[in-house]
A and B are shown apart, each in its own frame.
Chain A
Amino acid sequence: MSISITVNGQRRDLDVDAATPLLWVVRDDLGLTGTKYGCGIAQCGACTVHVDGEPLRSCSAPVSAVVGRQVTTIEGLSSKAAKAVQKAWVELDVVQCGYCQSGQIMSATALLEKIPKPSDTDIDHAMAGNLCRCATYHRIRAAIHAAAATLA
């Protein structure tokens, strides 16, 4: 069926089943492969995108759920908080294998948009749904604090 969604500020007209997971639309139909498939059951966070500024597991939402809303993928992340996160990620060399990292950055950015100076507890609660098989959690936490330190 015909469906229109807005991704990274651009209207995209699609011919897809309304029940198709947003993840497959983003990756297969729009070619935005920065968003990763990890588990497909909302357990790992690799597929995290923002919808109206809030993190959303794109494997667990039908594309119809984002009609009329603003979808942002890792490719479209450009806020002040996002830039601070990306800079901190590079400076602290957070990434190991990297597969989970776009989801980590999406969740970290969403946290800093709401809480510019998060506590360790805030970070634990916001990031609990983003798994990292390389166990870079200590560097993720440090990078979020480092990014927060650069935000007013």
Chain B
Amino acid sequence: MDRHSRHGLSAVFLLAALSAGAHAADLRAPDSFAAIADRSERSRALFVEAGKVIEHPRCLNCHPVGERPTQGTDMHPHSPLVMRGADDKGAVGMRCTTCHQAANFEASGVPGHPLWHVAPASMAWQTRSLAQICEQIKDPGRNGGKTLAQIQEHMAHDSLVGWGWRPGGQREPAPGTQAQFGALIAAWIDTGAACPR
């Protein structure tokens, strides 16, 4: 394969990314929960809807239990073997940035973002129920000391969270849009931030 045909692969990846990007209808809007009269029940329903994003492999892959992230929609162990390391950015000599650059790189198919890292161990979501994740998200002892307002800001605007909707290549994006997800989290907080039972 010559240098130019290798670049030609970029177009294939780009087309795949564009065709996989239209998932805006996959999340319900907060207004559609207005018929639930009980405020706490409405709050729980809003979080369950937001859970479609939280429990999507695109998000869970980097919220591993233990030292190793997963990858793919089947959440297989990250290949090659990588460890979270002391700063959640990889082991000495095998950093996240050894392979992941500041943006998705079409030539190699490797995804990227300037802040690429795994979530801290206290924010591990894999293997946990949505109810457990909900309590975890609200707990400042496990959520990085964030208030609910800061949680909403993180969910709605953090650019690494936003990568979940712009994963590049043939990766399936998280459901809906980050704005829709942020609106659901805001409505969940406004209704008392009740967690699923």
Of B46-54, B97-105, B124-132, B136-144, the one contacting chain A is: B97-105
A130 to chain B, nearest CB (A): 8
Of A4-12, A91-99, A110-118, A132-140, the one contacting chain B is: A110-118
Give residues 117-152 of A contacting B (CB, 8 Å).
122, 125-129, 131
Residues of A contacting B105 in the complex (Cβ-Cβ under 8 angstroms): 21, 60-62
24 A–B pairs (Cβ distance < 8 Å), ordered by A: A19-B10, A21-B6, A24-B6, A28-B3, A40-B6, A40-B108, A41-B108, A42-B99, A54-B97, A54-B98, A56-B97, A57-B108, A60-B101, A60-B107, A60-B110, A61-B101, A62-B105, A107-B94, A111-B93, A114-B92, A114-B93, A122-B91, A128-B82, A129-B98
Residues of A contacting B95 in the complex (Cβ-Cβ under 8 angstroms): 54-55
* B79 sits at the interface (CB 8 A): yes
Known: A24-B3, A57-B99. 19 other contacts (CB 8 A): A17-B7, A21-B6, A41-B108, A42-B99, A42-B110, A43-B80, A54-B95, A56-B97, A60-B100, A61-B105, A65-B102, A115-B92, A122-B91, A125-B94, A127-B94, A128-B80, A129-B80, A129-B81, A131-B80
What band does the interface of chain B fall in when counting residues whose beta carbon is under 8 Å from A? 20 to 34
A84 to B109 Cα, complex, angstroms: 35
Would you give the 0/1 interface string for B171-195, flagging 1 where the beta carbon is closer than 8 Å to chain A? Answer: 0000000000000000000000000
Give residues 26-65 of A contacting B (CB, 8 Å).
28, 40-43, 45, 48, 54-57, 59-62, 65
Binding site for A on B (CB under 8 A): 3, 6-7, 10, 79-83, 85, 91-95, 97-102, 105-110
A7 to chain B, nearest CB (A): 18
A19 to B101 Cα, complex, angstroms: 12
B93 A107 Cβ-Cβ under 8 A: yes
**Centre residue among A28, A42, A111, A115 by max chain B CB count within 10 A:** A42
